[in-house]
Chain A
Amino acid sequence: MLKPLAAILTAAGMTLATAQSEVEIFSWWAGDEAPALEALIDVFEAENPDIEIINATVTGGSGVNARAVLKTRMLGGDPPSSFQVHAGEELIGTWVTADRMEDLTDLFEEQGWMDVFPERMIEQISTEDGIWSVPVNIHRSNVLWYVPGNLDEWGVSVPADWDEFLGETCPTLQGQGVTPLAIGQNWTVQHLWESVALAELGPEQYGALWDGSLAFNDPAVVDAFATFADVMECTNDDFAGLSWQQATDRVVGGDAAFNIMGDWAAGYMTTTLELEPGEGFGWAASPGTDGHFMWLSDSFGLPVGAPNRDATIEWLRVAGSKAGQDAFNPVKGSISPRLDSDLSQYNAYLQSAAEDWSSDVKVGSLVHGTVAKETFMSEFATVIEIFLSTGSAESAANAAQAIATQVGLGQ
């Protein structure tokens, strides 16, 4: 009885005593991803021994629950010092447009970040009025995962595009009772959709979807939905109940040949399943997207009215620094967006991703908040549900366009 009470009293006392030097970091990095955040916090605390970090996490993949908690806090006028948010439209379309974030241009210029972060990326995290967050990592969405030994056994190779996959790879595998492509619950289906759409539309047209210059019911997009429908014929039919890890497990366990997932799957396979990159698992750009890097990024921003603004800016500085990012990313299983990161600390997969990051055409992910505002992103789940229950490319494309019009996509 007394112990918790004493702890509360002590905590309250400490809050009073150190109110000036406390930073509350709000994120969804719990569980497998917690050690990476800890590594970043360690760097921060080594440089700033007098500032205390309060690590506030809300569990739930891709921040689905954390974002809801964050919204209630922000609406209640109780913003955390800094919060994790997907860089790009998820931040801009929700928080910047509502005037809840501070411009970080000064910090970027002072730290020389204008030169170390890729220009295309800075564009995507900026509006005319400023730069809005500090990206701490880069994940790639369009990656095809497989087990090299299994492919040899089944006599298939990595398909270069969806035509090859649908024409040869899929029938060969199905003939042997192997699931050609493993997927999981709704958002992983959307994740597959964005890779198929990028392949079928190409980076230009794919990008045009998000600024509103290409309609979803355009014949090209309907065709992409039709290809997507064919691809869905090559997937496991019990997907709705599987997490992305379980879909990856199907590939590793030899029940399925391929899986399209973001490269956090590499982190899962190396760290949790203890597989060697290149031997235990192999990777390639998803079919038809070689040379295109569909990216997403976690970032931290500065909410208006954040408690302890100066200490929070110091947190942002460390989060964007080379030391901070090179401590964080190898543990997280992602790469640093900085072009000057020390690659020797990263594993084989991450080194290859970093190489692609510096040379590939960069396009943003829909499902992970880069290119479309949250309202569209969330309602796109309904589009996929409409598609799954009707099986009609037309209806899905029309529904997507109806939502895009309604939310004013690209405006």
Chain B
Amino acid sequence: MGTLAGAHPWRVWRDPLRQNDRITAFLMLLPSVVLLAVFVYGFIGRTVWVSMTNWGADATQALALNPQLEFVGLGNYRKLFTSVIDVRFRQDLVNTFFFTLFFILGTLALGLALAMLLDRKVRFESVFRTIFLFPFALAFIVTGTVWRWMLQPQGGVNILPELVGLPRLNFRWITTREQVWQFDWNTVPAFLIGALAAGLLWGAWQAWRLQDGRKPVRSGTLGALGAIGLGYALLGTPGIQLLPYPEPHGFNLAFIGILLAAIWQMSGYTMALYLAGLRGVPEELREAARTDGASEFQVYRHVVFPLLGPITLSAMIILGHISLKIFDLIWVMAGADNATTDVPALLMYLRSFRANQFAEGAAIAVVLLLLVAMVIVPYLRSSLRGEVRR
């Protein structure tokens, strides 16, 4: 690009050498564009289509050589969110929510802690770095198998306290049916709308603060919308009734075992990210802060952590999509049938390939895709924008 700076675009296009370049580039990209179009976007499209058919509802067509499918619109989705039997799917969504939350928090916190320790110029740093990073190199299948053994009720983790003379634990890590923080599924809209409204209010306040009140209409509108939303949520979202009866959901304690294994596996990775980030913080900045009388805590709080923001965001995106898609780890640790540790990806498999309900399986897949998209798309947008700026 640099050599052509200032050249008129039209002349660039007419330049036979450049044109040749473009054709070559196009031909080089073509295979992967075609493959992506067919094997990614084509199949996504087909899954969306299947999710709106009745594939599986009629056993004579479910596994026919050429299944005759009928369009049923959003029927499968309505069923997932309202039918009695699909209480399992709704609990799976709740499971995914809690799993994602604690997985990201745990992995970031542990990774950051390890990185900060290593950043203190310890001896044998590279040895420790390798040790902490090593679990990341394992497949979830291996991690799952190892942790399943360690979390057996009779051994492993439960007998650890005996080593220091304490009574042994008696927790059934992966199979307990205990559930905490129960709430009624019918209150979910209130939570969602309330969260959205809180976001709007925060945005309004930010707009007001940053612009010194110069655009009162904009922040005022945001604030009003937020206030209305919050009020509506606090009133219990009148007019929205998901189920005609209360349906309790909550955090299944059986996930603690799965979380242990997942955090153990991935925290080395966040440690590596954070370590690179910490090393990238110029020493002069820290020095300057110390000269200004900042305590070590304040150096981290006001200098280092803000600079680690982008890394935290990237790590959250990567961990978030891993946890939304998690399948193999749970498959190995708890099996597919154990509903206390079920997630939508497992249910998708069970529905499709055991119960022959292909359309419902596809609908679950689309819900998962939307969840992952909610995490990935903003990230892609911001990183693409960043590239353009560069």
Task: Spell out A's residues near B (CB within 8 Å).
Answer: 64, 67-68, 71-72, 74-75, 77, 93-95, 97-100, 185-187, 237-241, 304-305, 373-375, 378-379, 381-382, 385-386, 388-389, 398-399, 402-403, 406-408
Contact = CB atoms under 8 A, between A and B. Distances in A.
B63 A75 contact: yes
B63 A389 contact: no
B64 A241 contact: no
Contact of A402 (B85, B88, B175, B179): B85
Contacts of A402: 83-85
Nearest to A75: B63
B59 A98 contact: yes
A382 B360 CA distance: 15
Interface string B53-83: 0001001111111000000000000000001
Q: Is the interface of A mostly helix, strand, loop or mixed?
A: helix
A406 B153 CA distance: 39
B357 A241 contact: no
Given A374-B355, A375-B355, A399-B85, A95 B63 contact: yes
Interface stretch (B21-29, B105-113, B272-280, B337-345): B337-345
Contacts of B350: 378, 381
19 contacts: A67-B354, A68-B354, A72-B353, A74-B63, A75-B63, A94-B62, A98-B59, A99-B60, A186-B335, A238-B153, A238-B172, A238-B175, A240-B175, A240-B177, A241-B174, A374-B356, A375-B355, A389-B339, A402-B84
Contacts of B87: 386
A64 B175 contact: no
Nearest to A79: B65
Contacts of B334: 240-241
B339 A185 contact: no
A375 B338 contact: no
Contacts of B152: 241
A187 B337 contact: yes
- Interface size range on B against A: 20 to 34
Contacts of B355: 374-375, 378-379
A381 B64 contact: no
Nearest to B172: A238
A240 B85 CA distance: 21
B84 A399 contact: yes
A247 to B, nearest CB: 13
A375 B88 contact: no
A64 to B, nearest CB: 7
Nearest to A407: B59
Nearest to B342: A385
A385 B85 contact: no
Interface centre among B59, B177, B338, by most A CB within 10 Å?
B59
Nearest to A398: B84
B84 A93 contact: no
Contact of B356 (A71, A238, A381): A71
A374 B340 contact: no
B356 A94 contact: yes
Nearest to A408: B59
Contacts, number: 102
Interface centre among A68, A98, A239, A403, by most B CB within 10 Å?
A98
Interface in B148-190: 152-153, 172, 174-175, 177, 179
B60 A97 contact: yes
A373 B59 CA distance: 9
Interface in B349-370: 349-350, 353-357
Nearest to B83: A402
A94 B63 contact: yes
A389 B177 contact: yes
Contact of B88 (A71, A237, A385): A385
A94 B59 contact: yes
Given A186-B338, A379-B355, A100 B85 contact: no
B321 to A, nearest CB: 25
A98 B84 contact: no
A68 B59 contact: no
A94 B153 CA distance: 39
Nearest to A406: B85
B175 to A, nearest CB: 4
Given A98-B61, A240-B340, 15 more contacts: A64-B354, A74-B63, A94-B59, A100-B65, A185-B338, A238-B153, A240-B334, A241-B172, A375-B56, A378-B350, A378-B355, A385-B88, A389-B179, A389-B340, A402-B83
Contacts of A399: 84-85
A240 B338 contact: yes
Contacts of A185: 335, 337-338
B66 to A, nearest CB: 10
B62 A98 contact: yes
A241 B59 contact: no
B337 A381 contact: yes
Given A93-B59, A94-B59, A95-B63, A382 B339 contact: yes
Contacts of B61: 98
Q: Shortest 4 CB-CB distances between A and B: which pairs?
A: A240-B175, A68-B353, A385-B339, A378-B355
Contact of A379 (B60, B85, B335, B349): B85
Given A100-B65, A382-B339, A67 B353 contact: yes
Nearest to A77: B65
A95 B209 CA distance: 67
A403 B84 CA distance: 9
A375 B350 CA distance: 10
A74 B62 CA distance: 11
Contacts of A388: 177
B354 A374 contact: yes
A392 to B, nearest CB: 12
B252 to A, nearest CB: 9
Contacts of B153: 238, 241
Contacts of A95: 63
A403 B63 contact: no
Contacts of A241: 152-153, 172, 174-175, 334
A403 B174 CA distance: 28
Contacts of B60: 97-99
Contacts of B340: 240, 389
B357 to A, nearest CB: 7
A382 to B, nearest CB: 5
A407 B172 CA distance: 35
B174 A99 contact: no
Contacts of B177: 240, 388-389
Nearest to B91: A389
A403 B64 CA distance: 22
Contacts of A100: 63-65
A39 B150 CA distance: 39
